[in-house]
Amino acid sequence: MPSLLQRRTVSRPDGSPPAEAVVHAEGLSKIYPDGTAAVDGLDLSVRGGEVLALLGPNGAGKSTTVGMLTTGVVPTAGRAWVAGIDVAGQPADARRNIGVVPQRNTLDRSLTVRENLVFHGRFFGMRTADARREADLRLEQVALTHVAGKPVDSLSGGMAQRLMIARAILHRPAVLFLDEPTTGLDPQSRLALHEIVRGLRAAGQTIMLITHDMQEADQLADRVAIIDHGHLLALDTPETLKRSVDADTVVAVAAETPPQRLAALLREHVPGLRDVHILEDSVLLIVHAGQAVFPAIAAAVAGAGADLRDVRVEEASLETVFIRLTGKELRD
């Protein structure tokens, strides 16, 4: 699918990254000493002010990619820049422009909520008075002023996550990395977090959102980069990505028979199939638009003596895009 492939952004002749990119990676690769190629020749650009979602299943190379962009993992090949600074060449300089909300709670348990922010500001060279002012501002922004003096141990998961966001943006980084920010949160905390992300975007914050939740990517991101096995498979707006599937019709079929057998039946009897994907308990058909397939599906299943459980025309989602690109479901 050429329409889904990213147009390669090439750095300028002097080796510096394109000016409009806040984050820019070229041929970025990480091969671990045991031979695992976690990331393999990744080209990626995040523009100023946009939210870019890095979407992929567990083990796709998302964390390694973020690790390389945030100086915690040294690339084995390729280069990456954040705010124009080479992350591998000048990691300390690059870190000044980076805010990170990691997957796990890394708050300083020996300090209070407010102290976590004040010290973070001071780590970034702020004077104590400035750091305190910024801390109070950010506490208000993430609705944690009422627990400012509490130890961080007393925070709920959602509150801790909000505090980590406040901490990550305190020094006004050029780009904020959110690594699976809603994993393990209850629905209400999740919504609150989405609101905060939208607010940051409205204020012009460039964000790289790492997630395996396609709904989250769809709702929050300006553009979505889909990666698997360390490769970039597609990079575009959610709408364009979905439209690329929409040219066809997506039909999900479930029957009282194993999906493998069902798929074989449908392949044999249903005309105009572009693609068949076997899912956990159903089969996904990508059909040429305008093809009447329902009678053929019903006949095929009945002919094999099985009961049809469900036939649904699905709206194209990022999940469908992912299945088309990789042949598998995102959560597997």
Contact residues toward other proteins (CB under 8 A) are 19-20, 22, 32, 48-49, 67, 70-74, 83-85, 91-93, 95-98, 100, 102, 104, 106-111, 115-116, 119-120, 122-127, 137, 167, 169, 172-176, 202-206
* Least Cβ distance, residue 216 to other proteins (angstroms): 22
Least distance to other proteins, CB of residue 190, Å: 23
- Least Cβ distance, residue 100 to other proteins (angstroms): 6
Amino acid at 65: T
Q: Which is nearer to other proteins, 130 or 186 (CB)?
A: 130
**Nearest residue to 61 (alpha-carbon basis) of 45, 50, 73:** 73
- For residue 303, the SS3 value is helix
Question: CB of 9: closest distance to other proteins in angstroms?
Answer: 15
Q: How far is Cα of residue 278 from the mean position of the Cα atoms in its chain?
A: 24
Query: Is the CB of 119 or the CB of 311 nearer to other proteins?
Result: 119
Q: Which of 176, 145, 142 is nearest to 161 (CA)?
A: 142
Shortest reach from residue 63's CB to other proteins, in Å: 10
| Nearer to other proteins (CB atom), residue 18 or residue 272 | 18
The CB-of-223 to other proteins minimum distance in angstroms stands at: 15
| Choice between 32 and 294, CB closer to other proteins | 32
The smaller minimum CB distance to other proteins, of residues 56 and 99, is found at 99
CA distances (Å), origin 3, targets 44, 233, 234, 243: 16, 11, 9, 10
Q: How far is the CB of 116 from other proteins (least distance, A)?
A: 8
Least Cβ distance, residue 183 to other proteins (angstroms): 16
Helix, strand, or coil (residue 212): coil
Residue 222 buriedness (CB in 10 A; 0-12 / 13-18 / 19+): middle
* Residue 139 beta carbon to other proteins: minimum distance, rounded to whole angstroms: 14
Between the CA of residue 98 and those of 1, 180, 261, what are the distances in Å? 34, 17, 50
Q: Which amino acid is at 83?
A: A
Check: CB of residue 220 under 8 Å from CB of residue 208. no
Q: Which is nearer to other proteins, 206 or 317 (CB)?
A: 206
Name the token pair of 143. Answer: 């609705």
The two structure tokens encoding residue 168: 């990550």
- For residues 251, 257, 261 and 266, what is the CA-based torsion angle, rounded to 10 degrees? -30
Cβ proximity to other proteins, 37 vs 111, nearer residue: 111
Q: What is the dihedral of CA 139, 143, 145, 146, to 10 degrees?
A: -160
- Cα-Cα-Cα-Cα torsion 293, 295, 297, 301, nearest 10 degrees, comes to -170
Put residue 83 in one of left, alpha, beta given phi > 0 → left and psi -120 to 50 → alpha: left
Nearer to other proteins, 99 or 158 (CB): 99
**Nearer to other proteins (CB atom), residue 64 or residue 282:** 64
